[in-house]
Amino acid sequence: MATKTFDEQIINYVKDTNLKHIAVIMDGNRRWAKERNLPSAFGHKKGVESLKRVMRACDDFGVKYLTVYAFSTENWNRKKEEVDFLMDLLGQTIKNELNEMHKNGVVINFIGDLSKLNPKLQEILANAVDVTKNNSGVRLQIAFNYGARDEIVHAVKEIANRVKEGKVRVEDINENLISDNIYTRTIPDPDLLIRTGGEMRVSNYLLWQIAYSEFYVTKMLWPDFDKEALAKAIEDFHSRQRRYGK
């Protein structure tokens, strides 16, 4: 019997576990740069390369949904120079990579409060969503100006307005209704949450959605994360027994 290839083995792990959605906290860009005596901008740029590698790996392995934490609501507290750089990096990356991602069938979406971004950047993001909306490849959600508590507050306000308008009764409010009013309502909850950089916290990320996600933490910094590292996380996930409280 022929030995299975690396990709085939991981593909089988994905199928065996019905792994559909991976969420990632991309931590360690600044530390990666600091270790090399480089400005943080170099780490963030390397982080973009890692995202491209992981996105291609998800396509190779048959993972349909990838959600990444790019900029949190708390990141506004960083130095203005770094915030401005991250805003520009997102816009430039989307413009530079859009054609290739579209060609590869990627569906691009953004979750978070985009109203706080400058109009030019909002236009770039909206165009990427529109151009790729009919694709059938990996669905990439980029969490930008995102905070899970902010997301839940937004959902509560939406439901409260519908109650006020008489469209929803208080007794009709349940988990499904809340899930229908969060940013990720059109996709399944993450099966696996990966955090690079070794920190053991979720940092206000997808708090509602990760109720039964499996966590995988690696000390590897995000700019070093690649296809092999993703495969290792999937292999670890395959060894878990998901009980869902049973």
d(CA 174, CA 192) in angstroms, rounded, equals 24
Q: pLDDT per residue over 53-85, tens digit each? A: 999 999 999 999 999 999 999 999 999 999 999
pLDDT at 6: 86
Beta carbons within 8 Å of 26's beta carbon, 6+ residues apart:
47, 50, 51, 68, 69, 70, 196, 222, 225
Q: pLDDT band for position 30 (50/70/90)?
A: very high
| Residue 2 pLDDT exceeds 80 | no
Q: Phi and psi at residue 189, in whole multiples of 5°?
A: -65, 155
Exactly one of 27, 109, 189, 191 is catalytic; which is it? Answer: 27
pTM of the model: 0.95
In contact, 213 and 190? CB cutoff 8 Å = yes
Q: Active site includes 88?
A: no
Q: Which of 75, 104, 135, 181 is catalytic?
A: 75
Domains within the chain, CATH numbers bracketed: 6-149+189-238 (3.40.1180.10)
Residue 245 has pLDDT above 80, yes or no: no
Provide mean pLDDT across the span 161-183. Answer: 96
Q: What is the mean pLDDT of the chain?
A: 95
Beta carbons of 79 and 114 less than 8 angstroms apart: no
Give me the numbers of helices (H) and strands (E) for the chain, helices first please: 8, 6
- pLDDT of 1 above 50: no
- pLDDT tens string 189-231: 999 999 999 999 999 999 999 999 999 999 999 999 999 999 9
Quote the CA–CA distance of 153 and 155 in Å, as a whole number.
Answer: 5
- At residue 119, the 3 state secondary structure works out as helix
To the query of whether residue 176 is one of the catalytic residues in this protein, the response is no
